[in-house]
């Protein structure tokens, strides 16, 4: 006696199979999209400008102010000193120079910090407060009478 193999009848591909495939595919795509959107919204800390149209109207004024600042010829260096404090070395301004800074976290995870500076015996300025060790965007503002110098640095 020989054994004969019987083949099972092929299963039919029905509309329910196609529905299951489509639901699984688009469900996966939607889950990934919602997850990524949630990550994006939870990590972006804010906007660059409140109103881009108004910012564009002030652009030429900003360019003029930058040109005036360049005419001052000041050479300013910002560095992180020991203990997280910031040191500013300025060449060019007079003796009545004052320095302030505003530090913000690039992604907005930490609160903004305003820094005040004290003149050191060597002529540099050292911040009174220390910044936490992390990445910061620091907006410096130096004033000597009516002359104002501004710059934004990344630490």
CB 125 within 8 A of CB 135: no
Helix (H, G, I), strand (E, B) or coil at 83: helix
**Secondary structure of 55-108 as H, E, C letters:** HHHCHHHHHHHHHHHHHHCCEEEEEECHHHCEEEEEECCCCCCEEEEEEECCCC
CATH of region 74-154: 2.60.40.10
Q: Where are the domains of the chain?
A: 74-154
pLDDT for residue 139 is more than 60: yes
Q: How far apart (Å, rounded) are the C-alpha atoms in residues 4 and 80?
A: 85
As separate numbers, helices (DSSP H) first and strands (DSSP E) second, the chain gives: 3, 7
pLDDT in tens, 14-42: 999 999 999 999 999 999 999 999 988 87
pLDDT in tens, 109-134: 788 889 999 999 988 899 999 888 88
Q: What is the pLDDT of residue 4?
A: 66
pTM of the model: 0.60
CB 135 within 8 A of CB 155: yes
CB 75 within 8 A of CB 91: yes
Of 22-26, 49-53, 88-92, 95-99, the range with the lowest mean pLDDT is: 49-53
φ/ψ of residue 28, rounded to 5: -65, -45
């Amino acid at each position: 006696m020989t054994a004969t193999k019987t083949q099972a009848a092929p299963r039919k591909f029905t509309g329910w199979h196609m529905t299951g495939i489509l639901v699984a595919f688009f469900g996966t795509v939607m889950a990934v999209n919602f997850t990524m959107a949630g990550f994006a919204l939870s990590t972006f800390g804010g906007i660059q400008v409140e109103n881009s149209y108004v910012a564009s109207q002030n652009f030429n004024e900003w360019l003029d102010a930058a040109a005036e600042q360049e005419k001052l010829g000041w050479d300013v260096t910002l560095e992180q000193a020991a203990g997280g404090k910031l040191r500013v070395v300025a060449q060019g301004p007079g003796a009545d120079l004052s320095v302030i800074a505003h530090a913000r976290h690039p992604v907005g995870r930490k609160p903004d910090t305003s820094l005040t500076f004290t003149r050191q015996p060597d002529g540099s300025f050292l911040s009174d407060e220390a910044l936490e060790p992390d990445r910061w965007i620091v907006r410096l503002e130096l004033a000597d009478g009516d002359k104002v110098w501004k710059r934004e640095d990344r630490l």
